[in-house]
Amino acid sequence: MPNDRVFAMSFAGVYPHYVAKAEKKGRSVAELREVIEWWTGFVGTGSDSDWAFVV
């Protein structure tokens, strides 16, 4: 399948691209994190230490 590469990617590999795209569209990192929390079920306290695994 041509999409196998997508499933092999870690979230840490695509997170910076999500941040760049959100900022390019005028959104904040906090808004991005809110969407990711809704989408994945990961609930952080909002501090950067919770998101350290991502970056």
Give the C-alpha separation, 55 to 32, whole Å: 14
Q: What is the pLDDT of residues 3-49, one digit of tens each?
A: 677 777 777 778 888 889 999 999 998 898 888 888 888 776 666 65
At 31 the pLDDT is: 92
Give the C-alpha separation, 21 to 4, whole Å: 23
At 23 the pLDDT is: 94
